[in-house]
Amino acid sequence: MIDRWARKALRRGGGLAGGMLSLFVPPLCIACERRLASSQRWLCRNCRIALGCEARPVTRFVDIDGEMKLRVRYALGYTPRVARIIAEMKYGDKPGLARLLVSFVALAAGDRVPAGTVVVPVPVHPSKRRERGFNQSRILAEALASLKGLALGDVLMKQRTTVSQTALRREQRAANVAGCFSLRKLEHPRIERALLVDDVVTTGSTLRECARVLATEGTEEISACAIAGSL
């Protein structure tokens, strides 16, 4: 039996070490760790079917400023399996997973996204972008915009680093992200209608801060969607 260390190294790995390990360790489903068929990548057929059966749009509302509410929709509950898949996407160097998971973001967004809506990804700090090599929310937003025939507006920036939200209690999360987002210093037309895109929503603190920035800049209609949530 291949030990757990080797499997973890293979999931993380690239380069020569990852290539050598792949000769001895069969590719496994990142959700259930069953062996993958040669035609499969990342997720086995059973897990893909299970995710499809579990998917259903959930709508929640987050207060922005007491008067304005942000409508948030997500397609999957934030179960241990879903959390594992999203963690592999973000921390396991698998940006291609975002393109696979965008179908759940599209399901959350719905079929009736108004014309003229601009799809806005939740940003990560530049240091995190360099470390990870990508922003999964931007990949999701770009793919969603293409699917829906909408414009992509990469107009937000994260101006200071924050600790991981997953490490904080619910009441600490709002303070962690307060004031950390701003509008990029670029010339661009005012966005009248925005659809924020993130991978996961739990307390809604991050989306609330992003919505506040857009609202301050004159965006009148703001909604949000994500792969999964527990809001």
| 215-227 tens-digit pLDDT | 998 999 999 999 9
Please give the model's pTM, rounded to 2 decimal places: 0.86
Residue percentage of the chain with pLDDT more than 90: 69
**Predicted confidence (pLDDT) at residue 66 exceeds the cutoff of 80:** no
Single residue among 36, 52, 68 that ends a domain in this structure: 52
80-106 pLDDT, tens digit per residue, is 999 999 999 999 999 999 989 999 999
Count of the separate structural domains present in the chain:
2
**Predicted confidence (pLDDT) at residue 124 exceeds the cutoff of 50:** yes
- Residues 39, 103, single domain; the answer is no
- Residues 72, 167, single domain; the answer is yes
Residue 76 CB neighbour total at 10 angstroms: 25
Strands 58-63 and 69-77: antiparallel
Question: Where residue 23 falls among pLDDT bands split at 50, 70, 90?
Answer: low
- Residues 188, 133, single domain; the answer is yes
- Residues 29, 69, single domain; the answer is no
Single residue among 15, 37, 52 that ends a domain in this structure: 52
Q: Which domain holds residue 48?
A: 1-52
- The string of DSSP codes covering 43-67 is S-HHHHHHHHHH---EEEEEESSSS
- Taking the C-alpha atoms of residue 139 and residue 137, their distance in angstroms, rounded to an integer, is 5
Single residue among 52, 67, 88 that ends a domain in this structure: 52
- Residues 123, 14, single domain; the answer is no
- Residues 74, 170, single domain; the answer is yes
CATH of the domain at 148: 3.40.50
Question: Where residue 174 falls among pLDDT bands split at 50, 70, 90?
Answer: confident
Question: Where residue 189 falls among pLDDT bands split at 50, 70, 90?
Answer: confident
Q: Which pair of structure tokens corresponds to residue 128?
A: 């995190």
CA-based R_g, the chain, Å: 18
Residue 142 CB neighbour total at 10 angstroms: 19
38-56 pLDDT, tens digit per residue, is 899 999 999 999 999 999 9
- Taking the C-alpha atoms of residue 191 and residue 215, their distance in angstroms, rounded to an integer, is 9
**Predicted confidence (pLDDT) at residue 214 exceeds the cutoff of 70:** yes
